[in-house]
Amino acid sequence: MIVIKTAAEIELMKEACRISAGALKAGGEAVVPGATTEDVDAAVRDYIRSEGAKATFLGYGGFPKSACVSVNEEVIHGIPSRKRRLKEGDIVSIDVGAFKNGFTGDNAATYAVGQIDGRAQKLLDVTREALRLGIAAAKPGNRVGDIGHAVQAYAEENGCSVVRDFVGHGVGRELHEEPEVPNYGRAGHGARLVPGMTIAIEPMLCLGGYEVEVLDNDWTVVTRDGSLSAHFEHSVLITKDGPLVLTVI
């Protein structure tokens, strides 16, 4: 069932989303050559605690850390570690949620570690723009398929593939709510978008094929061909006037 939020609920959710965005920014600032993925997680964790919130991902389904920190060919759900040290030229995807006042925010971004090569930079640029186009398609009266179509069309026009096995989703009192929001699909199909819906739009694009697999830790998703992957995400409110990004600071 798709949950339509009231005006009062939206105000509560905005606070959780603001904290989520601040935590993502803090994590991104920790992405420097020589840092560990544990350092990134600590920055996220400390920011969320400083705002009197809880890290949504910590303990979710047994996930052991406050943020997902995924490097290079890791698509999502990378587990932060003191042993994983970032080096110049890496790209790092950080996925963060904060829970407060009964609601959660959810957002992600991919960061460059120092200087990266042109293909990696193009992947980041295309994925970021695909998110913008997906959000632009999230208008009342449109359908979920319009979002996925906008993301997929732009990604494939620019030589990137779209991960199929993991998708966006509704977000609110729960991290994952209805509807699913794929990053691919046919325009005019799927659930209709109406004011009061809150969804997480999150393109996951790859330089190679879109096939992925899960590592033996049962969490980390990697590209099957070892190609680079990037991930950008915002929590978005559907309003009568169009989409409103909630995960901003």
What confidence category does residue 146 fall into, taking pLDDT thresholds of 50, 70 and 90?
Answer: very high
pLDDT tens-digit series, residues 1-45: 999 999 999 999 999 999 999 999 999 999 999 999 999 999 999
Write out pLDDT tens, residues 174-207: 999 999 999 999 999 999 999 999 999 999 999 9
**Is the model's pTM score more than 0.95?**
yes
Q: Identify the helix (H) or strand (E) that includes residue 50.
A: helix 37-50
Over residues 58-89, the pLDDT tens digits come to 999 999 999 999 999 999 999 999 999 999 99
215/32 Cα distance (integer angstroms): 25
Query: Tell me, what's the pLDDT at 249?
Result: 82
Q: What is the pLDDT of residue 222?
A: 98
Q: What is the 3-state composition of the chain as percent helix, strand, coil, each rounded to the nearest 5? A: 30, 30, 45
